[in-house]
Chain A
């Protein structure tokens, strides 16, 4: 009996299940209400749900016109973002999908153009379709050059569209295989692209942890915070080869239970641990010394710590980040002790938003986590503020490790411009 009742609660799993059967508009409203009710709340769950939803939106869209497709995705995206503006990954995924559509549309037009020019090999860059925005070709070129100049890992992940479609190699685009005319269906390619985004979301933690051995050395003391799975996997990967000590601040009151269970290895029953994570061995099983400390002890211990590794909720274009409450205190303490601060985060969390008003990015949660609701006198007379997130300014962070490798905070703007098209930043 309990098993059925657990399945009742709506969440990511039930949403993905219902996505297949429901009408598309129903699914959109469904996701909006799930986001509003915070039934889907972690960055990755939000991203996954958004990606799957957009996949459905595009497959259900009965148009082949790229402009209409973009409009449709934009309108859906706006509603999703309005539902929960603080989950920035939703907007990120929408922007990436928009970028995909634009890329495909351009490739398509390019191919047509080549075809109509009767196979002329003349410069594909300059004579674009005249009604196209003037900055489109330039960003595109920026993107492609940046891609080629980076490592192979980077290029493998950062542009999911097939290599032949790149400008400069128009011959391999095989115009003979394409149907001439504007009616060519680009949806298949876009959907393929979205599937690659979904794959990326699934693999991102493993890819990040591949860099673990470069950053964690033997006999180091690592301080971390919350129960972020990205951080845990990162540490686990290093633990396979090296011996070091981990100090975990429990992040009371919003995440301490999850942190405790991560440390002790007791499987937490939340929806996040659906898959492999719940079977994962905790760090202690790998022979790593793990010390759980209250948040207040962070400063006292910081002098002994070699490195601070933090998970994050989202990363902003200026290199700042929004992460679980308490992160800023840790980063600040690390700065005082000149301890390096490393932030591990998937690229999907990287948002092109500049934090002009970072107060508005911070969500305030349930007051009863701080003091008990049953204390009537207190409840009546005080205001309890329970921020769920902290904004950590860029200068407190030394290094970002994403699935593309390590970056300085000041370099993030570049990754932003690689991943998102300028015209989609404020869609």
Chain B
């Protein structure tokens, strides 16, 4: 990371100079949704292959076509993989059409966080395009851009233009479970109202109903209510949009919350959002597996021309178009008696056995398809082996998977990376099989012979919340935390890589003790806010992930130091413990164990000194605890229990206790000495028991 940081800074300054000319784009590589599970457990979504080309390539092609010169790419889950890919790709080469391609890592857990992070960086200099890393479009953007600019010239409040594709009533590329409804004033192309209608009406209490404000009808002589639009989530924004995101802290989803909210608050802020509806050219977004399927078909049927396989977007691809939409690379081995039907893509090094029938299928590179196999509507990625006499219908088989002989993979089945299916097994409809570890428990789960057969590898993947039919997966944009949670736990980032590596603007993170007065005020403000927020969460018994998430967001907004985070955590925790003891009449030890046990992770994530000999963070935590408990009636007891609990939970090590005990802050005043008096016995005990403990470091080390 370090060298990139150095390289990024001067470029950004350059960009600031030529404000007027460069067109900037923000690509959200992670859209904080879980539609592509289980594949996204192993790979970022935008690297999933669509017609054997990673999704992100299509997006970048679109941007290159649009003449975008600066791109900010936000990685979410698996951002290391994405970064590696981008660095090796042609977009980083000197010939890249982008003058600048900045990869931003962030621990953001929603689009809203990304926007707020972006706002904090002040890198956006003018109008910019926001789109997700799975957009496929051959649309020239000039028209939209020109109208947007003209409109903004005339009216400063026209902050955003959404690009929408008209698509008729029924369309395979439209989401079938949830459809966005746009209420548009056609005379001004202004979007007046937005709502998402859930087609699974029985789930929601008020059914599929659209609520339009009467004022909208009263004020506008003409309105269109449109449900026939594909929302390809290409937005042209002015910098004002970022500040709006920042102002409304709770917005997370760009449509369901941001768009809806801004339109609703029109009276308040006067901002207008406009639409640009295209009637020709292609624009769509691989938002879920259904869309993935539809877009694959569109690409193969050349609706996306020139973004077709035979354009060979990736260097090294050698696709050629044959009759009836057969795209074939060089070095493909086809048995004499095999039948390759319409709409097929076959990658290099793939071999197809005798009497095999293939149609409507994408085959990646180096696949081995056995004899007498039937593939229809299947998406087979790279290095897949499919045994003889097997049937695969409308399923996705990811890299390195092995399907045995005489198997049947029914429609909607998803076989993730490296899954092995034994001979003679039938994979039922819509079953998802993966090998990668579940989110919460560390160890890779056992293979499930009932699903993959004896000798197979993998287990059935289920989501806790929405385990309904995946192909048609419900709920449009992330319904808040459900999705964010998944991404949070997927992300391998620890909190220590907060906000973004490339940020030169975020200032120094650690060690901001000696700050100016105004900043101190800000700090206090943060501590207060964070403490209240954490306390509320504790009281509502929200899970620790959520609390963590909130804390991170707060912290990023305020650019708070570690010390402040700890202070906030300590005060919230202690308040809650006191609360528990008072209200529920719990004993001090019980209350302490409850709180720290459940929310261990939060404390853990505020400590960063496990590897070092000196333990300033842990000592700091203890001192803060001590300070907090000074005023309490039974503060000394609580401190003892807390100290013990923290030790039991392996949050604080023996050395830290020693250092704390010796620290002058902890014994500075009379009160402080009094409150820690009871803990004396614990510290003494620790000192005696110290020799025995030696394995602690090892266990701790895997947490970083």
Q: A1-B153, A8-B23 are in contact. Are A376 and B171 (CB under 8 A)?
A: yes
Tell me if B94 and A368 are in contact (CB < 8 A): no
B residues 154-185 near A (Cβ < 8 Å) are 165-172, 174
A25 is an interface residue with CB less than 8 A from chain B: yes
B281 is an interface residue with CB less than 8 A from chain A: yes
Tell me, in angstroms, the Cα distance from A359 to B339 when the chains sit together. Answer: 21
Closest Cβ–Cβ distance, residue B560 to chain A (whole Å): 40
Closest to A360 in B: B320
Tell me if B280 and A368 are in contact (CB < 8 A): yes
Tell me if A368 and B281 are in contact (CB < 8 A): yes
Q: Which residues of B contact A37 (CB under 8 A)?
A: 61, 64-65, 306, 311
Q: Which residues of B contact A377 (CB under 8 A)?
A: 170
Contacting residue for A374 out of B94, B142, B279, B306, CB 8 A: B279
Tell me if B324 and A39 are in contact (CB < 8 A): no
A366 is an interface residue with CB less than 8 A from chain B: yes
Contacting residue for A376 out of B146, B167, B306, B343, CB 8 A: B167
Tell me if B302 and A366 are in contact (CB < 8 A): yes
A26 is an interface residue with CB less than 8 A from chain B: yes
B303 is an interface residue with CB less than 8 A from chain A: yes
Closest to A84 in B: B311
Tell me if A28 and B97 are in contact (CB < 8 A): no
Closest Cβ–Cβ distance, residue A83 to chain B (whole Å): 8
Tell me, in angstroms, the Cα distance from A6 to B141 when the chains sit together. Answer: 10
B321 is an interface residue with CB less than 8 A from chain A: yes
| Stretch from A100-108, A109-117, A276-284, A379-387 contacting the other chain | A379-387
Could you mark each residue 247-286 of chain A with 1 if its beta carbon is under 8 Å from any beta carbon of chain B, else 0?
0000000000000000000000000000000000000000
B21 is an interface residue with CB less than 8 A from chain A: yes
A358 is an interface residue with CB less than 8 A from chain B: no
Tell me if A30 and B97 are in contact (CB < 8 A): yes
Could you mark each residue 282-308 of chain B with 1 if its beta carbon is under 8 Å from any beta carbon of chain A, else 0?
100000000000000110011101100
Tell me, in angstroms, the Cα distance from A376 to B168 when the chains sit together. Answer: 6
Q: Which residues of A contact B325 (CB under 8 A)?
A: 383
Closest to B306 in A: A38
Q: Which residues of B contact A366 (CB under 8 A)?
A: 138, 282, 302-303, 305
Closest Cβ–Cβ distance, residue A255 to chain B (whole Å): 15
A residues 211-257 near B (Cβ < 8 Å) are none
B residues 304-319 near A (Cβ < 8 Å) are 305-306, 311-313
Closest Cβ–Cβ distance, residue A269 to chain B (whole Å): 10
Contacting residue for A359 out of B150, B306, B323, CB 8 A: B323
Could you mark each residue 35-70 of chain B with 1 if its beta carbon is under 8 Å from any beta carbon of chain A, else 0?
000000000000000000000000001001111000
Closest to A384 in B: B301
A195 is an interface residue with CB less than 8 A from chain B: no
Q: Which residues of A contact B138 (CB under 8 A)?
A: 366
Tell me, in angstroms, the Cα distance from A39 to B66 when the chains sit together. Answer: 11
B463 is an interface residue with CB less than 8 A from chain A: no
Closest to B67 in A: A8
Closest to B22 in A: A8
Tell me, in angstroms, the Cα distance from A386 to B145 when the chains sit together. Answer: 29
A residues 360-404 near B (Cβ < 8 Å) are 360, 364-368, 372-377, 379-380, 383-384, 386
Closest Cβ–Cβ distance, residue A373 to chain B (whole Å): 6
Tell me if A9 and B66 are in contact (CB < 8 A): yes
Q: Which residues of A contact B174 (CB under 8 A)?
A: 376
Q: Which residues of A contact B671 (CB under 8 A)?
A: none
Q: Which residues of A contact B649 (CB under 8 A)?
A: none
Tell me if B95 and A383 are in contact (CB < 8 A): no
Tell me, in angstroms, the Cα distance from A23 to B94 when the chains sit together. Answer: 8
Q: A28-B95, A33-B95, A374-B171 are in contact. Are A39 and B145 (CB under 8 A)?
A: no
B207 is an interface residue with CB less than 8 A from chain A: no
Tell me, in angstroms, the Cα distance from A304 to B667 when the chains sit together. Answer: 111
Q: A29-B90, A29-B95 are in contact. Are A10 and B302 (CB under 8 A)?
A: no
Could you mark each residue 341-367 of chain A with 1 if its beta carbon is under 8 Å from any beta carbon of chain B, else 0?
000000000000000000110001111
Tell me if A2 and B146 are in contact (CB < 8 A): yes
Tell me if A9 and B142 are in contact (CB < 8 A): yes
B342 is an interface residue with CB less than 8 A from chain A: yes
Closest Cβ–Cβ distance, residue A176 to chain B (whole Å): 45
A residues 1-48 near B (Cβ < 8 Å) are 1-2, 4-6, 8-10, 23, 25-30, 33, 36-39
Q: Which residues of A contact B168 (CB under 8 A)?
A: 372, 374-376
Tell me if B94 and A26 are in contact (CB < 8 A): yes
Closest to A380 in B: B172
Tell me, in angstroms, the Cα distance from A6 to B93 when the chains sit together. Answer: 25
B228 is an interface residue with CB less than 8 A from chain A: yes
Tell me, in angstroms, the Cα distance from A2 to B321 when the chains sit together. Answer: 38
Tell me if B166 and A374 are in contact (CB < 8 A): yes
Tell me if A374 and B228 are in contact (CB < 8 A): yes
Tell me if A10 and B305 are in contact (CB < 8 A): no
Closest Cβ–Cβ distance, residue A1 to chain B (whole Å): 4
Q: Which residues of A contact B311 (CB under 8 A)?
A: 36-37
Q: Which residues of B contact A360 (CB under 8 A)?
A: 320
Contacting residue for A379 out of B93, B303, B305, B321, CB 8 A: B303
Q: Which residues of A contact B94 (CB under 8 A)?
A: 23, 25-26, 29
Closest Cβ–Cβ distance, residue B369 to chain A (whole Å): 23
Q: Which residues of B contact A10 (CB under 8 A)?
A: 64-65, 67, 97
B665 is an interface residue with CB less than 8 A from chain A: no
Q: A25-B94, A373-B167 are in contact. Are A365 and B23 (CB under 8 A)?
A: no
Closest to A79 in B: B315
Tell me if A376 and B280 are in contact (CB < 8 A): no
Tell me, in angstroms, the Cα distance from A218 to B90 when the chains sit together. Answer: 57
Tell me if A36 and B306 are in contact (CB < 8 A): yes
Q: Which residues of B contact A1 (CB under 8 A)?
A: 146, 149-150, 153
Tell me if B172 and A365 are in contact (CB < 8 A): no
Closest to A10 in B: B67
Closest to B153 in A: A1
Tell me if B282 and A368 are in contact (CB < 8 A): yes
Q: A364-B321, A366-B302 are in contact. Are A379 and B172 (CB under 8 A)?
A: yes
Contacting residue for B313 out of A4, A6, A36, CB 8 A: A36
B7 is an interface residue with CB less than 8 A from chain A: no
Tell me, in angstroms, the Cα distance from A340 to B214 when the chains sit together. Answer: 69
Tell me if B171 and A367 are in contact (CB < 8 A): no
Tell me if B167 and A374 are in contact (CB < 8 A): yes
B428 is an interface residue with CB less than 8 A from chain A: no
Closest to B318 in A: A82
Tell me, in angstroms, the Cα distance from A356 to B198 when the chains sit together. Answer: 56
Q: Which residues of B contact A375 (CB under 8 A)?
A: 168
Tell me, in angstroms, the Cα distance from A27 to B313 when the chains sit together. Answer: 17
B140 is an interface residue with CB less than 8 A from chain A: yes
Tell me if B150 and A2 are in contact (CB < 8 A): yes
Tell me if A367 and B305 are in contact (CB < 8 A): yes
Tell me if A373 and B303 are in contact (CB < 8 A): yes
Tell me if A379 and B171 are in contact (CB < 8 A): yes
Tell me if A383 and B342 are in contact (CB < 8 A): yes
Tell me if B149 and A383 are in contact (CB < 8 A): no
Q: Which residues of A contact B280 (CB under 8 A)?
A: 368, 372-373
> A373-B282, A373-B303 given. 17 additional CB < 8 A pairs?
A5-B142, A5-B146, A8-B66, A10-B67, A37-B64, A37-B306, A38-B306, A39-B65, A366-B303, A367-B301, A367-B303, A368-B280, A379-B171, A380-B297, A383-B342, A383-B343, A386-B302
List the 7 shortest-distance A-B pairs measured between CB atoms, nearest first: A29-B95, A376-B171, A8-B67, A374-B168, A366-B305, A26-B95, A1-B149
A-B contact pairs, 28 of them (CB 8 A): A1-B153, A4-B20, A5-B142, A5-B146, A5-B149, A6-B142, A10-B64, A10-B97, A28-B95, A29-B90, A30-B95, A33-B95, A36-B306, A36-B311, A37-B306, A367-B301, A367-B302, A367-B305, A368-B280, A368-B281, A372-B168, A373-B165, A373-B167, A376-B167, A376-B170, A376-B174, A377-B170, A383-B325
